[in-house]
A and B are shown apart, each in its own frame.
Chain A
Amino acid sequence: MSSNSFPYNEQSGGGEATELGQEATSTISPSGAFGLFSSDLKKNEDLKQMLESNKDSAKLDAMKRIVGMIAKGKNASELFPAVVKNVASKNIEIKKLVYVYLVRYAEEQQDLALLSISTFQRALKDPNQLIRASALRVLSSIRVPIIVPIMMLAIKEASADLSPYVRKNAAHAIQKLYSLDPEQKEMLIEVIEKLLKDKSTLVAGSVVMAFEEVCPDRIDLIHKNYRKLCNLLVDVEEWGQVVIIHMLTRYARTQFVSPWKEGDELEDNGKNFYESDDDQKEKTDKKKKPYTMDPDHRLLIRNTKPLLQSRNAAVVMAVAQLYWHISPKSEAGIISKSLVRLLRSNREVQYIVLQNIATMSIQRKGMFEPYLKSFYVRSTDPTMIKTLKLEILTNLANEANISTLLREFQTYVKSQDKQFAAATIQTIGRCATNILEVTDTCLNGLVCLLSNRDEIVVAESVVVIKKLLQMQPAQHGEIIKHMAKLLDSITVPVARASILWLIGENCERVPKIAPDVLRKMAKSFTSEDDLVKLQILNLGAKLYLTNSKQTKLLTQYILNLGKYDQNYDIRDRTRFIRQLIVPNVKSGALSKYAKKIFLAQKPAPLLESPFKDRDHFQLGTLSHTLNIKATGYLELSNWPEVAPDPSVRNVEVIELAKEWTPAGKAKQENSAKKFYSESEEEEDSSDSSSDSESESGSESGEQGESGEEGDSNEDSSEDSSSEQDSESGRESGLENKRTAKRNSKAKGKSDSEDGEKENEKSKTSDSSNDESSSIEDSSSDSESESEPESESESRRVTKEKEKKTKQDRTPLTKDVSLLDLDDFNPVSTPVALPTPALSPSLMADLEGLHLSTSSSVISGLI
């Protein structure tokens, strides 16, 4: 079929025309481009023809194959013109797949992509919030610079949308536009500022994400929203929680003074990373005033605590780092249990969590000591997990638990995983240096390991013993003798080198053995590894200086061998040593000091944790994991010496009242979701306002106040579902319904006066806030009640209103009540007034409304 239809299309374009008509799109026929491509490339011919087909099933098949190509990373860009025509398809799946395609290739085919824009622009005005949201999502994902102004406009409108879901998508779109055109920053910050005020839990996470990406330095935008964010946090979706908690951690470090007492720092293993001496003095001065924690600081710490029980590891980690960085040190202990719980999770989660615990355990052993056994290594752990656990065990080791730990380490040394066994030996070395009581025990244990069957174990032990002996200049002749014997058997270069170095350093303590070792080494010099050769040279030099009688000839022999070695490092070293130790005419003053130079007291190597000081990176971040500052990492600032004005976070009552009065209420402010977990609580005043309505039902029946909370919860969602049904069912009827609602809502306002009084009795919280919320409550209440009767009345009105609603549906001001008035006034005068009998309350309502018309008009103009 396709083979016939195609040439026909190309010749006459008739098929194209019919199809266009059928599709009712505004796309320009791309047949020219199409023909050009098809003559060049035949391979996707069938796909193109399927896309041109009249049948949805053929189109769908084609789109599925194309998506398959994209998934495999094959280039499907040449199909762009054929695909883009289907952007307005009535079939949802085709449409979705076209969106997938569009977002993938629009950047490469900018001109053609423009053809799809009008479809999205239309969808942005769709009465269904989900369609508006998805249109915005795709429109903002098309990375075509020319549509930046369109995107900007769409974002602005969407940010004032009634639906929190659309506003959420607007927040996402902000970041997309910012990355497409950073010039828009200032305008976008305005939108962010507006969305930060949003009280919906749906929006909160997304807008904070946008904030972090666009303007993380504008901490001033957070002040007024700080308390709200803290209070909303529990009910935000988990991903949003992570982002908000990280942001609030940074915020807290700029706005509050340190809750850490001087005494804490002792426990901190002298960690004074952030404070210079001057700071400390000031701190002591200040300490005369007793520290009281800012209530806002406390609020954050308190409200994040329940999230330690989240199932999401990222949330738990986010709270843990918040406690680590901003809570008093006495309170940080509660995070350990939750972090330890995460260790049951997947290896990747374990890896990150263990890294963070490693950093914490260096500074505050006490936090994880009770969980010591949770870090015991299992034979099934991957090596990277094993080594991290070892690291933590080392950090936690102290006089009390070291014997238990050493017994545990003995098992590890026997592990089949040799890399891990070697790491354990290193660990034993570190424990030996950290805890003086066990140094000898450890050393003996390590010496025992020297007779282990496995060479890697022996070699690692040698290296560690070398370090230990260096730290303990006491007599260890026996051990050195033992090690000298090992030279006959052990082959690992680094171990051989370590032994030679040890003998050289202690050559005066083992006067008989040292020259003999040198003799053996002279014999095998040529076959040794470079590392070992260098140490043979060193040993020779040291012996030459201390015992030249026995070793002069041997050393000279070795120096001669070294002189002709293939490796230039060795040749260099040989030359250097010869000049230094063998006195001649040219050598001058330096050779006098040769002994001092070679046998100087060498500082012992510090066996330190690789996690030391890693906490100058905020915990839980990528930078911390990598120990490198990652792109886009935001520094955690030091605590301020003096707290900035805390009143910036006050949300003044007067201001609120102002905001409320002119319009009666700002719907958006009030439109926050009903919080699930809060539903049983009625403590907070802020809750009472947020209780007022559930956005899900905002287009439909509002939340009733009455009844048990659980019930009402359920009601609203049922309502919304039925609403959705009807929306998708008969889209055309929707406008009617919508207007009807508005009508009824406005009418309901007078009803609400009664309800309001009741509310005032029942609610005992903050008056202004409460008042506004109670209005909302009751109006929404009455809205659902009065719906049936008002429906019939409003039907009459709808036709006239319909046009107007369409235009004004998403006005610049986000105020719905204003909108209602706009709709209501001109029409209601002629139509609604003659029917006061139907609802006497309407009259009163209208009068009340008239007062505010002027302001609404003004703001409408603005």
Chain B
Amino acid sequence: MIHSLFLINSSGDIFLEKHWKSVVSRSVCDYFFEAQERATEAENVPPVIPTPHHYLLSVYRHKIFFVAVIQTEVPPLFVIEFLHRVVDTFQDYFGVCSEPVIKDNVVVVYEVLEEMLDNGFPLATESNILKELIKPPTILRTVVNTITGSTNVGDQLPTGQLSVVPWRRTGVKYTNNEAYFDVIEEIDAIIDKSGSTITAEIQGVIDACVKLTGMPDLTLSFMNPRLLDDVSFHPCVRFKRWESERILSFIPPDGNFRLLSYHMLSWDVGKINPQKLPSLKGTMSLQAGASKPDENPTINLQFKIQQLAISGLKVNRLDMYGEKYKPFKGIKYMTKAGKFQVRT
């Protein structure tokens, strides 16, 4: 499927290449550069570019183009989704994903890429598994490695890959057992000139940070699960349990992960006192010397409301089965402006 991967920075240098099948010459990227020139802006470079013998599928993140070379028919989303997964993995490993960081950690990057694909087909894309295979670099480990000559490659074999819960590494141990959940909602809205709402919808996610010993089996229930209508899950969530009982039942991966995301079209504001209408006010000032914009510009808003999920979604309780200790549990709510635009 995926033949090769080229990483290209904003100035058009190929700073990393990796091949999973026969080597494809980097000159194939010339077609990409042509398209890049035509597009003027990076975000307008088409994600799929046909060339005489190959197809170039790319994603643009952190000012880096990740360009995959393929030779035959493949669902384009398959490749695109995989490339995003690669970026996520780098971010997970190094904290940030940038050209200098990738260059500094080129060996780890290479080892990770080697494990992620076999002959161009995804092999291990779960970060729990990858981290078992190749340990992410930390300052401490770098120091220790230099002194003792030990390595970043896990000496354990990736047992998780063989287990029934492939997303969770085995033998997890913590002295403090904690499970934190963040319910984060973003409001996407377009408000027109007159102040009336054209569209408003809520995009929510529940991000989790679970550090629990052993193989905990968690259930998370909501006060008002009926709010969740359009949902997508992390693979650990048991579909059928959700369908029948509206309960999230799962064995979590170790560490940070996105448990679910949801989407709501309606935004129920609730009761508002007509005497005291809530209002947000702001002023906009042009930079000194800047010419007045041609047309009335669209204004993008950013705001944050702590400890509130605007949809009204509330977690009822979290239970743990399968382990005996008592974990520390925490939940946080937050509402943010997503793509919140005001047309003037």
Q: Which residues of A contact B (CB under 8 A)?
A: 55-57, 60, 64, 67-68, 70-73, 91-93, 96-97, 99-100, 104, 107, 128-131, 137, 140-141, 143, 163-165, 169, 172-173, 175-176, 179, 202, 206, 209, 234, 237-239, 242, 246, 306, 309-314, 316-318, 337-338, 340-341, 344, 346-349, 351-353, 373-374, 376, 378-380, 382-384, 408, 411, 414-416, 453, 620-623, 625-626, 628, 630-634, 673-677, 679-681, 694-696, 708, 710-711, 713-714, 716-718, 720-721, 724-725, 727-728
Instruction: Judge whether B322 and A313 touch: CB under 8 Å.
Output: no
Instruction: Judge whether B153 and A349 touch: CB under 8 Å.
Output: no
The minimal Cβ–Cβ distance linking B111 to chain A, given in whole angstroms, is: 6
The minimal Cβ–Cβ distance linking A408 to chain B, given in whole angstroms, is: 8
- Please measure, in the bound complex, the distance between the C-alpha atom of A242 and the C-alpha atom of B293, giving whole angstroms: 47
The minimal Cβ–Cβ distance linking B234 to chain A, given in whole angstroms, is: 6
- Please measure, in the bound complex, the distance between the C-alpha atom of A175 and the C-alpha atom of B1, giving whole angstroms: 10
Instruction: Judge whether B43 and A347 touch: CB under 8 Å.
Output: yes
Known interface pairs A92-B153, A165-B161, A310-B233. Does A382 touch B263 (Cβ–Cβ under 8 Å)? no
Given the complex, which residues of A lie within 8 Å of B198, measured CB to CB? Answer: 373, 376, 408
Residue of A nearest to B293 (CB): A416
- Please measure, in the bound complex, the distance between the C-alpha atom of A346 and the C-alpha atom of B158, giving whole angstroms: 31
- Please measure, in the bound complex, the distance between the C-alpha atom of A346 and the C-alpha atom of B155, giving whole angstroms: 36
Q: Which residues of B contact A (CB under 8 A)?
A: 1, 14-19, 21-23, 26, 41, 43-44, 46-48, 50, 55, 58-61, 70-78, 80-84, 106-107, 109-111, 114, 118-119, 121-123, 125, 149, 151-153, 155-159, 161-166, 170-171, 188, 190, 192, 198-199, 201, 203, 214-215, 217, 230-235, 238-241, 243, 251, 258, 261, 263, 293-298, 300, 321-322, 339, 341, 343
Instruction: Judge whether A338 and B230 touch: CB under 8 Å.
Output: yes
Given the complex, which residues of B lie within 8 Å of A91, measured CB to CB? Answer: 151
Instruction: Judge whether B75 and A621 touch: CB under 8 Å.
Output: yes
Given the complex, which residues of A lie within 8 Å of B21, measured CB to CB? Answer: 179
Given the complex, which residues of B lie within 8 Å of A68, measured CB to CB? Answer: 106-107
Given the complex, which residues of A lie within 8 Å of B109, measured CB to CB? Answer: 71
**Which one of B73, B110, B118, B300 contacts A634 once the chains associate, using CB atoms below 8 Å?**
B73
**Which one of B58, B121, B163 contacts A206 once the chains associate, using CB atoms below 8 Å?**
B121
Given the complex, which residues of A lie within 8 Å of B321, measured CB to CB? Answer: 708, 710-711
- Please measure, in the bound complex, the distance between the C-alpha atom of A490 and the C-alpha atom of B153, giving whole angstroms: 68
Given the complex, which residues of A lie within 8 Å of B82, measured CB to CB? Answer: 239, 314
Known interface pairs A67-B106, A626-B48. Does A714 touch B215 (Cβ–Cβ under 8 Å)? yes
The minimal Cβ–Cβ distance linking A455 to chain B, given in whole angstroms, is: 13
Given the complex, which residues of B lie within 8 Å of A175, measured CB to CB? Answer: 119, 121
Known interface pairs A311-B234, A382-B44. Does A239 touch B125 (Cβ–Cβ under 8 Å)? yes
**Which one of A57, A239, A453 contacts B121 once the chains associate, using CB atoms below 8 Å?**
A239
- Please measure, in the bound complex, the distance between the C-alpha atom of A275 and the C-alpha atom of B233, giving whole angstroms: 40
**Which one of B72, B162, B201 contacts A720 once the chains associate, using CB atoms below 8 Å?**
B162
Query: 8 A-B Cβ contacts within 8 A?
Result: A100-B110, A314-B75, A346-B80, A378-B341, A380-B341, A622-B74, A694-B164, A714-B251
Residue of B nearest to A683 (CB): B240
Interface of A is mostly: helix
Known interface pairs A172-B121, A310-B232. Does A718 touch B164 (Cβ–Cβ under 8 Å)? no
Instruction: Judge whether B22 and A724 touch: CB under 8 Å.
Output: no
**Which one of A92, A620, A675, A696 contacts B75 once the chains associate, using CB atoms below 8 Å?**
A620
Instruction: Judge whether B50 and A626 touch: CB under 8 Å.
Output: yes
The minimal Cβ–Cβ distance linking B127 to chain A, given in whole angstroms, is: 13
Given the complex, which residues of A lie within 8 Å of B170, measured CB to CB? Answer: 717-718, 720-721, 724
Instruction: Judge whether A239 and B78 touch: CB under 8 Å.
Output: yes
Known interface pairs A104-B23, A349-B80, A416-B297. Does A622 touch B190 (Cβ–Cβ under 8 Å)? no
The minimal Cβ–Cβ distance linking B202 to chain A, given in whole angstroms, is: 11
- Please measure, in the bound complex, the distance between the C-alpha atom of A383 and the C-alpha atom of B198, giving whole angstroms: 21
The minimal Cβ–Cβ distance linking B32 to chain A, given in whole angstroms, is: 14
**Which one of B43, B161, B238 contacts A677 once the chains associate, using CB atoms below 8 Å?**
B238
Given the complex, which residues of B lie within 8 Å of A373, measured CB to CB? Answer: 198-199
Instruction: Judge whether A631 and B71 touch: CB under 8 Å.
Output: yes
Residue of A nearest to B261 (CB): A311
Instruction: Judge whether A714 and B217 touch: CB under 8 Å.
Output: yes
- Please measure, in the bound complex, the distance between the C-alpha atom of A679 and the C-alpha atom of B106, giving whole angstroms: 41
Instruction: Judge whether A97 and B107 touch: CB under 8 Å.
Output: yes
**Which one of B26, B58, B300 contacts A73 once the chains associate, using CB atoms below 8 Å?**
B26
Given the complex, which residues of B lie within 8 Å of A338, measured CB to CB? Answer: 230, 232
- Please measure, in the bound complex, the distance between the C-alpha atom of A137 and the C-alpha atom of B123, giving whole angstroms: 11
Given the complex, which residues of B lie within 8 Å of A346, measured CB to CB? Answer: 59, 61, 80, 84
- Please measure, in the bound complex, the distance between the C-alpha atom of A173 and the C-alpha atom of B121, giving whole angstroms: 11
Given the complex, which residues of B lie within 8 Å of A720, measured CB to CB? Answer: 159, 162-163, 170
Residue of A nearest to B259 (CB): A311
Instruction: Judge whether B78 and A416 touch: CB under 8 Å.
Output: no
Given the complex, which residues of A lie within 8 Å of B235, measured CB to CB? Answer: 237-238, 310-311
**Which one of B47, B157, B322 contacts A351 once the chains associate, using CB atoms below 8 Å?**
B47
Instruction: Judge whether B48 and A622 touch: CB under 8 Å.
Output: yes
Given the complex, which residues of A lie within 8 Å of B171, measured CB to CB? Answer: 721, 725
The 7 closest A-B pairs by CB, nearest first: A632-B72, A93-B151, A714-B215, A57-B149, A721-B170, A93-B153, A379-B298
Given the complex, which residues of B lie within 8 Å of A137, measured CB to CB? Answer: 118
Residue of B nearest to A68 (CB): B106
- Please measure, in the bound complex, the distance between the C-alpha atom of A173 and the C-alpha atom of B294, giving whole angstroms: 60
The minimal Cβ–Cβ distance linking A182 to chain B, given in whole angstroms, is: 14
- Please measure, in the bound complex, the distance between the C-alpha atom of A717 and the C-alpha atom of B58, giving whole angstroms: 38
Instruction: Judge whether A314 and B153 touch: CB under 8 Å.
Output: no
Instruction: Judge whether B81 and A312 touch: CB under 8 Å.
Output: yes
Given the complex, which residues of B lie within 8 Å of A625, measured CB to CB? Answer: 48, 76
Residue of A nearest to B238 (CB): A677
Given the complex, which residues of B lie within 8 Å of A64, measured CB to CB? Answer: 107
**Which one of B18, B48, B125, B230 contacts A71 once the chains associate, using CB atoms below 8 Å?**
B18
**Which one of B47, B119, B155, B215 contacts A352 once the chains associate, using CB atoms below 8 Å?**
B47
Name the residue in B17, B77, B231, B243 with the highest tally of chain A Cβ atoms < 10 Å from its Cβ: B77
Given the complex, which residues of B lie within 8 Å of A341, measured CB to CB? Answer: 230, 232, 263
- Please measure, in the bound complex, the distance between the C-alpha atom of A352 and the C-alpha atom of B231, giving whole angstroms: 21
**Which one of B16, B41, B215, B300 contacts A380 once the chains associate, using CB atoms below 8 Å?**
B300
Residue of A nearest to B50 (CB): A626
The minimal Cβ–Cβ distance linking B60 to chain A, given in whole angstroms, is: 8
Residue of B nearest to A727 (CB): B157
Residue of A nearest to B74 (CB): A622
- Please measure, in the bound complex, the distance between the C-alpha atom of A262 and the C-alpha atom of B107, giving whole angstroms: 60
Given the complex, which residues of A lie within 8 Å of B41, measured CB to CB? Answer: 382-383
The minimal Cβ–Cβ distance linking B230 to chain A, given in whole angstroms, is: 5
Residue of A nearest to B80 (CB): A348
Instruction: Judge whether A344 and B263 touch: CB under 8 Å.
Output: yes
Known interface pairs A309-B239, A717-B170. Does A376 touch B251 (Cβ–Cβ under 8 Å)? no
- Please measure, in the bound complex, the distance between the C-alpha atom of A198 and the C-alpha atom of B321, giving whole angstroms: 32
The minimal Cβ–Cβ distance linking B92 to chain A, given in whole angstroms, is: 15
Name the residue in B18, B78, B166, B203 with the highest tally of chain A Cβ atoms < 10 Å from its Cβ: B78
Instruction: Judge whether A73 and B153 touch: CB under 8 Å.
Output: no
- Please measure, in the bound complex, the distance between the C-alpha atom of A390 and the C-alpha atom of B75, giving whole angstroms: 24
The minimal Cβ–Cβ distance linking B252 to chain A, given in whole angstroms, is: 13
The minimal Cβ–Cβ distance linking A609 to chain B, given in whole angstroms, is: 19
The minimal Cβ–Cβ distance linking B214 to chain A, given in whole angstroms, is: 7
The minimal Cβ–Cβ distance linking A239 to chain B, given in whole angstroms, is: 4
Instruction: Judge whether B119 and A630 touch: CB under 8 Å.
Output: no
The minimal Cβ–Cβ distance linking A204 to chain B, given in whole angstroms, is: 13
Known interface pairs A72-B16, A677-B240, A710-B217. Does A67 touch B110 (Cβ–Cβ under 8 Å)? yes
Instruction: Judge whether A414 and B295 touch: CB under 8 Å.
Output: yes
Instruction: Judge whether B152 and A93 touch: CB under 8 Å.
Output: yes
Known interface pairs A309-B231, A383-B44, A622-B48. Does A71 touch B17 (Cβ–Cβ under 8 Å)? yes
**Which one of A71, A96, A344 contacts B16 once the chains associate, using CB atoms below 8 Å?**
A71
- Please measure, in the bound complex, the distance between the C-alpha atom of A689 and the C-alpha atom of B4, giving whole angstroms: 41
